[in-house]
A = this chain, B = another copy of it.
Amino acid sequence: MKVTVLGAGYMGSAMATVARMRGHEVTLWGTWLDDPMLEPCERGEVHPRLKLTLDGIRLLRSAHLDRALDGVDLVVHAVSSDGAVAVMTKAAPYLPDVPVLSVTKGFLESSRGEMDRIDLVVPERIGRRVRFVHAAGPAKAIEIARRVLTLMQFAGADAVACKAAFAGGHLHVGTTDDISGAEICSALKNAYATGLGLWDGHVGKDAHDARAACFTQAIAEMRLVARAGGGRDETVHGAAGVGDLHVTAAGGRNRAFGERVGRGKPAREVAAEMAAAGELTEGYAAIATAWRYARERGVRDLPLLGALHAIVWEGAGVPETLAGLRLSV
Contact = CB atoms under 8 A, between A and B. Distances in A.
B239 A209 contact: no
Contact of A139 (B140, B209, B243, B329): B209
B216 A151 contact: yes
Given A138-B216, A219-B237, A322-B149, A209 B242 contact: no
Given A216-B151, A329-B238, A208 B251 contact: yes
Given A219-B242, A238-B220, A213 B151 contact: yes
B209 A144 contact: yes
A151 B329 contact: yes
Contacts of A146: 206
Contacts of A206: 140, 142-143, 146, 148
Q: Copy number of this protein in the oligomer?
A: 2
A174 interface: yes
Contacts of A212: 138, 151, 239, 243-244, 246-247, 250
Interface in A216-269: 216-217, 219-220, 223, 233, 237-239, 242-244, 246-247, 250-251
Q: Which 8 A-B pairs have the closest CB atoms?
A: A138-B212, A151-B213, A216-B243, A212-B247, A149-B210, A150-B209, A143-B209, A212-B246
Given A212-B250, A216-B243, 14 more contacts: A138-B209, A138-B212, A146-B206, A148-B209, A149-B213, A149-B322, A150-B213, A151-B212, A208-B251, A212-B239, A215-B246, A216-B238, A219-B242, A237-B237
